[in-house]
Amino acid sequence: MTAQEPAAPGLDSRMVKMQTPEILRKVGIGLALVALACQSEVLPVVAQPSDTRVAGPADPKVIIFVIDGPRYTEFFGDSLHQHIPHIWNELRPAGTLCSNFRNLTLTETMSGHTSILTGVWQAIANDGSERAPEPTLFEYYRKATGAPPQDAVIISSKGKLAACSHGLDPDYGTAYAAQVDVGLPTDYDVYDHLIQRLDQDTPHLVMASFSQVDLKGHSGVWADYLRQIEIVDSLAVLTWNHLQNDPDYANQTYMFMTADHGRHDDAHGGFQHHGDDCDGCRHLIFLALGPGIRAGVDTSTLYTQRDVCKTVGSVLGIATPRAEGSRMDELFEPVSTGVLH
Ligand SMILES: [Zn+2]
Ligand SMILES: [Zn+2]
């Protein structure tokens, strides 16, 4: 029995200074995040421990469930959780909640989504005219497995997210891009398309991005913004329940729920807009669900969007060599090799 209690990664050493987007553009990201020690047994053994797979299901699948632009304070940071009753009561007890998860680059839609997908801070144009220099998870996945386009999918209302389908690295690119299903009218349509694709194509890697919380926020009507969080709260639970009732997905699917950015806290302009380095814009939701994910755990360890790529790569069993974040080992139950039983 070699099970180890996963030690919390050194929070102090991972604390980083907030920097303004302008500085980020000029000097790049000098965030000296310390690589996490590899605490889980890995299968199979390859050269880079942080790129290897955590022990898990035989045919793992991942849904990255992005909610575009909710503030932490109306979500997990609300002590009553009045706008997320289903996520709070039905999903949170089954997973690990990261209460100190952050965007440390531009708090805009394109930067947030592409930083999640590449594991590298992306300070790119927010109009969809620019792609990330590094490969996305879709490209790593399809190149490593030979999977067809419909096996890696982006679904969203925002058409500009088509630019997240692949990056500019010539070793990857369009040949390994995600299939794109964007420009959908509402979050309900995103959910419908997600379910249709799960049922028809059984994709292994999906990023479903629900845009309307952000759009309602920008409209400036507080009640509409809150109502949209409540709608997505329902859609998240419907998604998870659908996965658990589908034999292709049950007990072999991870769902990582997060956001691209938050919104200004009340001292920096309030909920209507976002885009600077205030705590409201940087502090994001993050909930992990799936086989081997610790249940009912709330960790305050600092994690960032950069850590998602290596974490997803690990559960899918694929290398993500240009990703700079660290695998979030704390999410996972300790694993025994069983050798000494
Ligand atoms: Zn956004
Ligand atoms: Zn702000």
- CA of 262 from ligand 2 middle (Å) equals 8
Tell me the per-residue pLDDT of 100-133, one tens digit each, with 9 for 90 and over: 999 999 999 999 999 999 999 999 999 999 999 9
- Preceding peptide of 148 cis, ω within 30°: no
Give the ligand at the shortest distance from the Cα of 18: 2
Q: Is pLDDT of 155 > 90? A: yes
pTM of the model: 0.84
Q: Is pLDDT of 213 > 50? A: yes
- CA of 193 from ligand 2 middle (Å) equals 32
Mean per-residue pLDDT of the chain? 87
- CA of 213 from ligand 1 middle (Å) equals 9
Q: Is pLDDT of 153 > 50? A: yes
Tell me the per-residue pLDDT of 259-305, one tens digit each, with 9 for 90 and over: 999 999 999 999 999 999 999 999 999 999 999 999 999 999 999 99
Instruction: Map residue 51 onto helix, strand or coil.
Output: helix
% of the chain residues with pLDDT over 70: 82
Instruction: Identify which has the larger pLDDT, 10 or 216.
Output: 216
Tell me which H or E stretch contains 281.
Answer: helix 279-282
- CA of 23 from ligand 1 middle (Å) equals 21
- CA of 276 from ligand 2 middle (Å) equals 4
Instruction: Identify which has the larger pLDDT, 97 or 5.
Output: 97
- CA of 111 from ligand 1 middle (Å) equals 9
- CA of 278 from ligand 2 middle (Å) equals 4
Average pLDDT in the 13-37 region? 38
Nearest to 232 by CA among 221, 220, 244, 217: 217
- CA of 261 from ligand 1 middle (Å) equals 6
* Token representation of residue 174: 């369009």
Bridge partners for 208 per DSSP: 65, 155
Q: Is pLDDT of 237 > 70? A: yes
Instruction: Map residue 7 onto helix, strand or coil.
Output: coil
pLDDT of 56? 86
- Structural domains of the chain, with CATH: 11-331 (3.40.720.10)
Instruction: Map residue 306 onto helix, strand or coil.
Output: helix
* Token representation of residue 83: 């706008």
Rounded Cα distance between 150 and 300, Å, is: 36
- CA of 18 from ligand 2 middle (Å) equals 12
Identify the band that residue 335 occupies on the pLDDT scale cut at 50, 70 and 90.
Answer: confident
Interacting residues of 81 by C-beta distance below 8 A, sequence separation 6+: 87, 88, 89
* Total Cβ atoms within 10 A of residue 332: 24
Give the ligand at the shortest distance from the Cα of 160: 1
Rounded Cα distance between 270 and 339, Å, is: 55
Instruction: Identify which has the larger pLDDT, 51 or 149.
Output: 149
pLDDT of 54? 60
Ligand 2 is an ion; residues with CB less than 5 A from it: 264, 268, 276, 278, 281
- CA of 113 from ligand 1 middle (Å) equals 8
- CA of 301 from ligand 2 middle (Å) equals 22
